[in-house]
Structure 1
């Protein structure tokens, strides 16, 4: 497991450097490293000796680094949320958006784009998206409770139905808005971190740290939950309370990510399974690898999104599906998926 974590961590650092050096402004790999290090090391001499231009500094620190870091946070958050959701409902097809969280966030954001912030009490786009995600989560939580207990199948069915309803409203707003708003709507719904700033990193970083800490402290209980509700209860796990906590934690994390990066699909579905194939189904090993792999996957996807068809930028959701699906199918074909407990 340590080797996998070190490899993923090294890959993340490498992608950050390559991202910092990639773009229309001429910045070499060494220059990107010096700019990043210069902002982290007080009074670094190379920041004031004229070897780096102001344009290079701004390109790396203000534009390229924030989007790489936001892509990493978004990928890690969606992957972790997917792992928790799959454990909560005991369904390998579960992913962060199965409860309609993304549809709720999309409706909130699209309402701001098409109707203006006054339609959502003056909230900015990210705030409206997060509020929409919270509303969708609360609705699914209330509607799927049966005799005070969250039923996994009922949650999935409620989430699918609610997601379809919210998506229909979003489509209506998109079709009836002015033509210049449609591009912004599509870019949000398909996901993008092109407008990332350092300030936008705070909320998803805090949410990711909190949910990761919670998940790691519940790793043994998550392992017991895989054996079924009855077996987990016999081992002393409060199944119904744990499931409710997992759903809330995954939904809040998803909402925090979607609010700043849009509806990036596929990450929360494939990355947890890939982590299980690599290190097994034990959540004590799988969760850290899932977080790191999710970050590396989406950071790489973002790098491809802004370079493959440059100067045109491809929405992240398209890249994650086109790149992720073949890789995932290749992993399954290698035969390790069944041994990891993914295929039965």
Structure 2
């Protein structure tokens, strides 16, 4: 027996290998998932360092990395030898690092919420804003900006935005019930109707307020992480952790729900209960992100699609890629927002639309969405 027959026993000389078996394809997708997660994680770390080096105070990427490591690991010699100034320390640790981290948390949260919403309504065009959650959060925030926190019982802007998102979630759940179950079609219709209503309320409040409040309202509605602090990271981090763990634990059930309610029930999945859990988790996650970063669109629509095209529709693989991809995408977008038109800062919502829309249309033209099962 020749060496060729030992190496390729199933393929005679001159013939091409046959199609991949399901097992081989699954292993290839798993390897691709691990590679993508590692690459996106490294990209996020690099973006943190680069973001720490960009600004009016001169800091090199190496110095930014030293400052971050020095705060995380006390006793580093460069923190006390005079090579780094207090101004550089303050610029990186108190302003630039929280901003980069909040952008990462917001991007990861919106991508995860978008993936969950697409499963909840079984609609490839679903995203966190389709159910009116973002519009509800905007109403709460704008009420504080226009009338002051004292008018709303002392609620802060973040708390009012979160309350508006929670109220929108409750309204959608109540309006979407049909015969004791949550109807995907009713959820979309109720979300669109409520979102339109909330947007009208926000528009009226904006045009009826004083001129100095209009800029604050528009900046919030278009999204920004410029006011990030270390304390503002706590809420989104907790929400992302809880939602991420919940989604991974339910990954098999999510796969079943994507095939349809009848198939899910035949596999032992309570479709109505699962849909309610997903609605609450995605809405609360979106509300938490919007309350600290404002309205940032397109992340929850594009990133889950790209993740599905890259590693397939199995949520055990897709969700980690979507979370890390959303984090890296919004961190890169925030870095561009700070530098493209410096010293003017571009709102994140504008930049994500300019960058995301053409890229998404390019993917659709290439047919990747059809291969993932979402372009039909």
TM exceeds 0.5? Answer: yes
- Residue 3 of structure 1: which of 27, 32, 35 is its match? 35
2:233 maps to: 201
1:118 maps to: 150
Residues 40-189 of structure 1 correspond to what in structure 2 (within 5 A)?
40-189=72-221
The number of residue pairs the alignment matches comes to 344
Give the alignment's Cα RMSD to 1 decimal. 0.7
**Shift of the alpha carbon at 1:312?**
0.5
2:285 maps to: 253
Q: Does structure 2 retain, via aligned residues, the 8 Å contact 1:276–1:342?
A: no
1:218 maps to: 250
1:314 maps to: 346
Deviations 1:74-110 (A, max 9, x none): 0000000000000010000100011111111100000
The higher radius of gyration belongs to 2
1:35 maps to: 67
**Shift of the alpha carbon at 1:111?**
0.4
Name the SS for the 2:339 alignment partner: coil
Q: Any runs of at least 4 consecutive aligned residues in structure 1 with deviations exceeding 4 A, and if so which?
A: none
Q: Which runs of 5+ in 2 are unaligned?
A: 1-32
What is the TM-score normalised by the length of structure 1? 0.99
Task: Provide the rounded CA distance (Å) in 2 between the counterparts of 1:42 and 1:148.
Answer: 57
Task: Provide the rounded CA distance (Å) in 2 between the counterparts of 1:11 and 1:259.
Answer: 26
**2:307 matches 1:275:** yes
Task: Provide the rounded CA distance (Å) in 2 between the counterparts of 1:319 and 1:59.
Answer: 24
Name the SS for the 1:37 alignment partner: helix
Q: Which runs of 5+ in 1 are unaligned?
A: none
- Residue 50 of structure 2: which of 4, 14, 18 is its match? 18
Q: Does structure 2 retain, via aligned residues, the 8 Å contact 1:71–1:299?
A: yes
Name the SS for the 1:173 alignment partner: helix
What is the TM-score normalised by the length of structure 2? 0.91
1:227 maps to: 259
Task: Provide the rounded CA distance (Å) in 1 between the counterparts of 2:77 and 2:373.
Answer: 53
2:9 maps to: none
- Residue 290 of structure 1: which of 310, 317, 322 is its match? 322
